[in-house]
Amino acid sequence: MNLIVADKREDDEREAWLAGISSLASQRIRVLHYPAVWQRAGMANLAILNAQGDYLLFLNSDIQVANAE
């Protein structure tokens, strides 16, 4: 399993966090910086072009865990 973070946001704290997680397992975690204006489809395409394996899961940052009840 590989984790790819396709990102456009520019924030020093976020950059430090992303660098930290990618250094934990550089073979499995890659951070890709999207070079154009923020566009979800464009970032997804960047991730697809760099993905390996049989399955893809797109998980956006605005996803929330909800209680089933």
Cβ(34)–Cβ(9) below 8 Å: no
DSSP string, the chain: --EEEEE----HHHHHHHHHHHHHSTTTEEEEE--SS--HHHHHHHHHHH--SS------TT-------
Separation of alpha carbons 62 and 48, rounded Å: 20
Residue 62 reports pLDDT greater than 80: no
Say what the pTM is.
0.66
Task: Show the tokens assigned to 32.
Answer: 């890709």
Please state the rounded mean pLDDT for residues 23-30.
81
Residue 1 reports pLDDT greater than 70: no
Residue 55 reports pLDDT greater than 70: yes
